Amino acid sequence: MTEAWKSGLAAIALVTLPLVAACSDTEEHTAQGATRDDGTLTLAAALGAEKDLDIVREAMDESELSGVLDGPASYTILAPDDAAFEALGKEGETLLEDEQRPVLVALLRDHLLPGHLTPESIGEAIDRKGGPVTMATLGETDVIFSREGDGIKAELEDGGSASFAGTATATNNGVVIPISQVLMPPKD
């Protein structure tokens, strides 16, 4: 196993410990926290219900990854809001074209983490460690979470960064965390 993968698994184990208590909490949290829903929504349905996540939902459909979001496995989606995709301009529009599907799939896999990770649990892991925590995405890229003022920042190793933006939604098979930017890999 690679060292990054071991670190990612350790971080997931670390942050999932407090989830038992968090899952029974039905109150809404602040913009940095997750909202516990009634347990009937899947990740795909939650993306469809959020008005500021239309483009990432369309991207998931175009990439044919949306079926995974209806399945039984648990994932956390770092979901760029519509403004984040619009900020990419023509590059963002091109990503949704059929011939760009492999690029889009790779990009979206770097926005997916295994497991049910809430902003609170990520924040608690950062606090326990006393600094940034690193987790591996499904695209096998490291994402580094750190505190940024009162919020949390997600940053790809040698790539783009984004802040958690808005209220996260906990579903029956994961968590949708809106972010302010598309996490783009470094340009060659």
* pLDDT at residue 175, rounded to an integer: 94
Sequence-ordered strand ranges (E) for the chain: 34-36, 75-80, 112-114, 133-136, 142-148, 151-156, 161-163, 168-171, 174-179
Contact 108, 59 (CB under 8 A): yes
**Nearest residue to 116 via CA among 55, 32, 188, 43:** 43
What's the pLDDT score for residue 75?
A: 95
| Residues contacting residue 43 through CB under 8 Å, at least 6 positions apart | 69, 70, 75, 77, 171, 173, 174, 176
> Which residues of the chain, if any, have pLDDT below 70?
1-39, 188
CA distance 148 to 164: 10
pTM of the model: 0.80
Q: Is 46 left (phi over 0), alpha (psi -120 to 50) or beta?
A: alpha
Residue 119 bridge partners (DSSP): none
d(C-alpha 131, C-alpha 36), whole Å: 27
What confidence score (pLDDT) does residue 35 get?
Answer: 53
pLDDT of amino acid 173: 93
User: β-strands 174-179, 75-80: how paired?
Assistant: parallel
